[in-house]
Amino acid sequence: ARPVAGSPEVAETFNQVRRSVLSRQRDALRLKHDIAAMRARMRQEQARPGTDFDLKQDPGGLTDMEFLVQYWVLACAHEHPQLLDWPDNIRNLEGLMAVGVIPDATGTFLADTYRDFRHRLHRLTLEGKPGRIAPAEAEPARGKVRALWNEVLGEAPASALSAAR
């Protein structure tokens, strides 16, 4: 959340509170667990029939990349408060690379894949079509995002999913 209109004084106070909350040191294991559980719940609630790849919601898609970025920001903002300067994933990835949280190759891959999937989604939306493509069109990028997700966050255990409800 960021202020976009209204009193500059209220906006500044809000930004101070926002930065204070987001830059708190967190238990990395609990954060991983909570994020994986939240994402597992979203996947379950938003599951759709069909074999096409949903660019936003399916494993390896845009939402997984967004969750990875937000995990790294929340996990590391107490050491690198500059990670809280930007509201978008691309600049967050650039910041994460700049402070050494993620390797340049990982950040570049995620930024390029995010732009590609977002571009495809926008094009389909403008054409009045659902944001789904043939699975082969998303590979190998989708597979790499899924592998990165599993490496960084793993999957939430069933107990975490039921606790998140």
Residue type, 113: T
- pTM beyond 0.85: yes
* One pLDDT digit (tens) per residue for the chain, 165 residues: 778 888 999 999 998 998 889 989 999 999 999 999 999 999 888 877 788 999 999 999 999 999 999 999 999 999 999 999 998 999 999 999 999 999 999 999 999 999 999 999 999 999 999 999 999 999 999 999 999 999 999 864 444 333 333
Residue 67 contacts residue 57 (beta carbons within 8 Å): no
Tokens 């609990």 map to which residue? 30
